[in-house]
Amino acid sequence: MTSFPRSPDELTTEWLTTTLGYPVNGYQVVYFSEGTGVMSWVMRVLLETAEDKPSSLIAKFPSSSSVNREGAKRYNMYGREVNFYQEISGSVDLQTPDCYFSEFDESSNDFVILLEDLTEWQIGDQTAGCSLAEAKTLISALARFHASGWEPHHQFPDIPSHGGKQQIEGMEGTYPIGWPVVLEQFGDFIPESIRSAGESIPKHIESLLTTMCQAPVCLTHADMRLDNIFFKEGEIAVVDWQSICTSAPEQDLAYFITQSVPEDVRKQEDLVAFYHAELTRAGISYDLNQCRERYKVSALYLICYAVVIAGTLDLGNERGKLLGETIIKNTFGALIDLDAFSLLDD
């Protein structure tokens, strides 16, 4: 394994020069505002180099929060993302930043990724939401991405299923920890009438995931939220591939719509039907009713993401707290509109 820096403090001009393949005479680390990253430590590195070389890049390291880092280790999130950039990114139909270097040390759970700095793009903001046009741009790209990784077992045999034992046990164990915290901090967004249903979710996680991971499945990003999406003139680029897995295509769709799209935008158009039409246009024959049913199941399961993020992770700053509030407000509003909790009565 190649030697690599484990934190920004270990960066050197010598290592950057060797790794990038051109002289770097100096550099400056610029830290993003608090709350930008959750599971990783993300920063911009300004480079002193030749005019025809990139003047900056994005560096990712393990989270500085021991709580978040342990969560990343539980699901091998750092290893998954490095594997994506090393083995998969060039094989799927979805734009991502160029990756200059990536390495992962399984024994210590350390990693580093150096990425193209998308300075001419506008990054999404989950706390601010998006327009209908932006939502449809992402959903159209999502359909093409899913089509390019449809039934991917033969192509990517090492990508884990989202319905594996580790995922089930992890969510069953962490959801009950997060639920009372969410009620205490964000209870204003959770009506009394659905609180008992919300509390019962751990009993249903395995059955929900089993339904989601029955064929057909595809390659999924599994963290498709606005903070991970860049926009530019009708195009999108996606970052943060730490949760990549195989699952129902509706997992990405439901995660994006129910947790990132504001209520007023979500209600302007049937976005599930739009996604299905785009998937059909990309060459996939798939029943619309099945798509709707699995979207509802996926949306209900993804309450786990909302509760675990808002209730167990170290969000430790004002932007992080606003993110937690946004996720809970959007999620429960969307689930009520879908009548998704009725699935627990079956």
pLDDT band, residue 39 (cuts 50/70/90): confident
> Are 94 and 136 within one domain?
no
Judged by phi (left if over 0) then psi (alpha if -120 to 50, else beta), residue 179 lies in alpha
> Are 109 and 128 within one domain?
no
Would you state the pLDDT for residue 192? Answer: 96
Would you state the pLDDT for residue 68? Answer: 85
The answer to whether residue 62 is domain-embedded is yes
Q: What is the largest CA-CA distance in the chain?
A: 64
Percent of the chain's residues with pLDDT above 90: 85
Lowest-confidence region among 21-25, 138-142, 165-169, 250-254: 165-169
Torsion angle of the four alpha carbons 193, 196, 200, 204, in this order, in degrees rounded to the nearest 10: -20
Would you state the pLDDT for residue 135? Answer: 98
Would you state the pLDDT for residue 33? Answer: 62
Last residue of a domain, one of 70, 94, 116: 116
Domain count, the chain: 2
Of 160, 135, 130, 162, give the one whose Cα is nearest residue 301.
Answer: 162
pLDDT, average across residues 35-57:
88
Q: Which residues contact 102 (CB under 8 A, 6 or more apart)?
A: 81, 82, 85, 86, 111, 112, 113, 114
Give the whole-angstrom CA distance, residue 101 versus residue 149: 24
Whether this model's pTM surpasses 0.75:
yes
> Are 278 and 156 within one domain?
yes
Give the whole-angstrom CA distance, residue 338 versus residue 332: 10
The answer to whether residue 2 is domain-embedded is no
pLDDT band, residue 30 (cuts 50/70/90): very high
The pLDDT tens digits for 188-220 are: 999 999 999 999 999 999 999 999 999 999 999
> Are 261 and 146 within one domain?
yes
Would you state the pLDDT for residue 150? Answer: 94
Give the whole-angstrom CA distance, residue 243 versus residue 95: 17
With the C-alpha atoms ordered 316, 319, 325, 326, is the resulting torsion angle positive or negative? Answer: negative
> Are 45 and 189 within one domain?
no
Of 346, 93, 310, 101, give the one whose Cα is nearest residue 190.
Answer: 310
pLDDT, average across residues 86-92:
92
Give the whole-angstrom CA distance, residue 49 versus residue 25: 6
Q: What CATH number does the domain containing 59 carry?
A: 3.30.200.20
> Are 205 and 250 within one domain?
yes
Asked if 179 contacts 328 with a C-beta cutoff of 8 angstroms, the reply is no
Would you state the pLDDT for residue 312? Answer: 85
In the chain, DSSP finds a helix count (H) and a strand count (E) of 13, 10
Give the whole-angstrom CA distance, residue 16 versus residue 27: 9
Would you state the pLDDT for residue 243? Answer: 94
The alpha carbon of residue 70 and the mean position of all alpha carbons in its chain are separated, in whole angstroms, by 17
pLDDT, average across residues 80-87:
95
Last residue of a domain, one of 72, 91, 116: 116
> Are 43 and 131 within one domain?
no
> Are 182 and 98 within one domain?
no
Q: Strand, helix or coil at 124?
A: coil
pLDDT band, residue 152 (cuts 50/70/90): confident
CA angle 124, 114, 234 (to 5 degrees): 30
> Are 66 and 176 within one domain?
no
Q: What is the mean pLDDT of the chain?
A: 93
pLDDT band, residue 241 (cuts 50/70/90): very high
Last residue of a domain, one of 92, 116, 140: 116
Task: Tell me the residue range of the domain where 46 lies.
Answer: 8-116
Asked if 216 contacts 286 with a C-beta cutoff of 8 angstroms, the reply is yes
The pLDDT tens digits for 94-104 are: 999 999 999 99
> Are 221 and 337 within one domain?
yes
Mean pLDDT: which of 26-35, 146-155, 211-220 is highest? 211-220
Give the whole-angstrom CA distance, residue 164 versus residue 247: 10
Whether pLDDT at 333 is above 70: yes
320 vs 134: which has the higher pLDDT: 134
Would you state the pLDDT for residue 346? Answer: 59
pLDDT band, residue 316 (cuts 50/70/90): low
Give the ranges where the chain is alpha helix by DSSP (H): 13-20, 66-74, 77-83, 132-148, 165-186, 195-199, 205-212, 249-260, 263-266, 271-281, 288-301, 303-312, 318-338
CA angle 217, 240, 283 (to 5 degrees): 35
